[in-house]
Amino acid sequence: MSEIVVGNRWLYDTLAGDATLAGQAPGGVHEGEAPSGSAYPLVLFQWIGGFDSAVLNAIRIWHSGVWIVKAIGVGPSLASLSDVAARIDLLLHRASGAPSGGVVHTATREAPHRSAYTDAGVRYVELGGRYRIQVSRS
């Protein structure tokens, strides 16, 4: 199983399994893009790059990947999203875990993320972060 799949699985299990976040983000947790008709706020995550760390003989230690993780809401203000983004950070920053198929050694936020755009007349706002996740296969 790819390290990216292991990382995705850990993120989904960690975020979707949290009752507090489920209450704050009724649109749910999704990888890549949200299904049409989703409620807001919702949480999206996606792997966006990374590199492998290896020692002699190309023995791979782990994949050090970057995932964008963000809460997305509808409306002009970031205020309603700040609690969701804070909960995401509480769940992920300095966390680790053992999803099926591998191990997440560390997760740390490298930078916050903020974006806003209008699509089909609807104003969307995003708040979250870029997370560095070191993951290996079992």
Give the whole-angstrom CA distance, residue 126 versus residue 91: 18
Nearest distance from residue 54's CB to another protein, in Å?
A: 10
Residue number with CB closer to another protein (19 or 35)? 35
Q: How far is the CB of 90 from another protein (least distance, A)?
A: 21
Name residues whose C-beta falls within 8 Å of residue 90's C-beta, 6 or more positions apart in sequence. none
Query: CB 33 → another protein: shortest distance, Å?
Result: 5
Of 14, 8, 7, the C-alpha closest to 31 is 8
Give the separation between CA 127 and CA 91, rounded to whole angstroms: 15
Nearer to another protein, 9 or 70 (CB): 70
The residue (of 19 and 119) whose beta carbon lies closer to another protein is: 119
User: Where on the chain is the footprint of another protein (CB under 8 A)?
Assistant: 32-34, 42, 44, 46, 48-51, 66, 68, 70, 72, 113, 115, 117, 119, 124, 126
